[in-house]
Amino acid sequence: MTKRIAVVASGRGSNFQAVIDAIGDGLIPARCVALITDNPKAFAIERARRADIPVTIVDYTSFPSREVYEKALLEVMRQVNADLFVLAGYMRILGKDLVREFAGEMVNIHPALLPSFTGLHAQRQAIQHGVKIAGCTVHFVDEHLDGGPIILQLCVPVFEGDDEASLAERILEEEHLALPEAVRLFCEDRLTIEGRIVRIR
């Protein structure tokens, strides 16, 4: 059965594009039914329009508090009624109520090999720490920042002379492979969460 997925993004949306391209190529048995963004200037909006995907803007700056914003976001997500929500460059930490409501139905892509280098500027953290291998992680979202059960990880080498930008660019290429693959596995009902472990059937 074809799954309904929705993407939540804040920026340029290159991972969003990778997912909708994979759907268009028949690699993911799903239909992208919505883009939800907190940023009315996000380039992801243009990508959605080109693909005829409905866009809902929940502009963070138009709400008096984070709590009010999150209530509005939660209501939008309920109305979308997706089987899976994909956080693809969504730059805000989700509150516990929202995370609990969609437990096991929301995934995130992070530009580091978790559990190392959570939060912002993961690539910079990796450079500063002197690691030799970096990469990206797709994980289920839980109440801990970048802490949910890991679905997939892909690695890249860290070269002498790398800076944050060059490493980020190399990691992003792997993100464009990892996120569509994780979404495909979910949509094929091949993922099972057992505690902290994600089993792939």
For 112, the token pair is 């580091």
Tell me what the mean pLDDT of segment 133-140 comes to.
98
With 90 as the cut, is the pLDDT of residue 103 above it?
yes
Q: Which of 110, 121, 139, 144 is catalytic?
A: 110
- pLDDT at position 1, please? 80
With tokens 């089987």, the residue in question is 83
For 127, the token pair is 């450079």
Range of the domain at 71: 3-200
The dihedral region occupied by 195, where left means phi > 0, alpha psi between -120 and 50, and beta the remainder, is left
Reported as a pLDDT band with limits 50, 70 and 90, residue 76 is very high
110 is catalytic: yes
How many structural domains does the chain have?
Answer: 1
pTM for this model (two decimals): 0.96
What is the average pLDDT score of the chain?
97
Give CA–CA dist 20/17, Å, rounded: 5
Q: What CATH number is attached to the domain comprising 114?
A: 3.40.50.170
